[in-house]
Amino acid sequence: MERKPIRLTTTSYAVMSLLELCDGATPYELKQMLEQSIQNFWPVPHTTFYEEPARLAAAGYLSADQEQTGRRRKRYSLTDAGRDALRAWANAPGSPPSQYRDEAMLKVFAGADPQAAFRGRIDWHRTKLAELEGYLAGLKEGWDGLRTDQWRGPEATVHGGIAYHRAMVETFERLLPGDQPETSSPSG
Amino acid sequence: MERKPIRLTTTSYAVMSLLELCDGATPYELKQMLEQSIQNFWPVPHTTFYEEPARLAAAGYLSADQEQTGRRRKRYSLTDAGRDALRAWANAPGSPPSQYRDEAMLKVFAGADPQAAFRGRIDWHRTKLAELEGYLAGLKEGWDGLRTDQWRGPEATVHGGIAYHRAMVETFERLLPGDQPETSSPSG
DNA sequence: TCGAATATAGTTCGAGGCGAACTATACAGG
DNA sequence: CCTGTATAGTTCGCCTCGAACTATATTCGA
């Protein structure tokens, strides 16, 4: 077991928390799990699932087991060090501020038409909402070998995701009608 | 004027849109402008304001003018190429999906106490809300040499920010009491 | 049963993002 | 004039990210 010291990032913990739920998963499986769960709170590009577990394994937080034929998949598991680090992080109080990133709003700042931007967002959040409600239904029947009772935390985050997208739809809808709620000085 | 080709990122446009409002600003001034405006939609670490304008200048999108004494500040201005690129981007329809990043939710996914996490978020969004409402008042009197009528776009984004933080406060408050809301779908 | 088309799975790479830590200038008060 | 603190600017290296790519699996028609 290697010991190359690395910095554990939030993405590291995202990977580890998925592995805790689904020990021995392949990168591809991790990617799919994420898409149906924490994607809404912590987006991770798919290449990360090939690079990050390798990094974590090199530092001793995961153990790897590679197939010798075919796709030569690697299956990863948490080591004790990994599990300890994960629990320590999860139990530590406080977290850095959340971030919202929206290029469309930036365009509005730069002078683009707010109506069009907001409408685009409304559509997108509606789509995500429908998607999540589908996942929620799926969750109850267990999912890819996971049992319902293992989903305590994950289920809470799906509910959170639904609440989030719903709130965003409502917010943008309220901003739509006239997006200068008062300040529009009748100077003209 | 150099011509080293670079990729224009969203952060590039953030810098350029601030410069369009406040021509000849120093990196430090840009940083302060951002904190009161697009920080809510596009977080940018302060070092970026020293590195990114240099990069943009090297590619011909900005012109630089460095003081020869004291702090040796650099003041940047949009070139025609920069202004054109900015307008082209702002007028292009569509934007990549927005992102929400919240390490606290990830901890909940990993098994942390949702109540504590949500309460922390409620406090934080309340603070931001108060901050933004202050900015909004300041906006009306112009701000650091900027006149009110130059703030069309920016003002819209401050309103957006207020709506956003308000919605997040409400959302987390609703999730608080019992964080398993029933799935209350009217589907019967 | 071959192989073309498509879907699935995995990898490489380099530019850009990011924050810790640091240096330097300005300014206020004793 | 010195010292402390606030303000302003910079360096550096690890991590992030996505485009582009390779490779394996599967499907389906001839």
Tell me what pLDDT residue B139 has. 64
Protein CA B71 to sugar C1' C24 (Å): 8
Nearest to B1 by CA among B41, B61, B65, B51: B61
Residue B10 φ/ψ, nearest 5 degrees? -60, -40
The tens digit of pLDDT for each residue in A107-143 reads 999 999 999 999 999 999 999 999 888 877 766 665 5
What is the C-alpha separation between B19 and A9, in angstroms, rounded?
33
- State the nearest Cα–Cα gap between B44 and chain A, in angstroms: 10
- Whole-number distance in Å between A69 CA and D27 C1': 22
Instruction: Give the E-state strand segments of chain A in sequence order.
Output: 62-66, 74-78, 99-101
Question: What is the rounded average pLDDT of the residues A41-63?
Answer: 96
Q: How many residues in total does chain A contain?
A: 188
User: How many whole angstroms separate alpha carbon A162 and alpha carbon A125?
Assistant: 10
Separation in Å, CA of B42 to nearest CA in chain A: 5
**Contact by Cβ (8 Å): A42, B110:** no
Please give the full DSSP string across A139-167, using - where no structure is assigned.
Answer: HHT-BTTB-GGGGHHHHHHHHHHHHHHHH
pTM assigned to the model: 0.87
Whether CB of B71 is under 7 Å from strand C: the answer is yes
pLDDT band at B187, cuts 50/70/90? very low
Per DSSP, what are the bridge partners of residue A57? none
Q: Do β-strands A99-101 and B62-66 pair in parallel, antiparallel, or remain unpaired? A: unpaired
What are the pLDDT digits (tens) for B20-62? Answer: 999 999 999 999 999 888 999 999 999 999 999 999 999 999 9
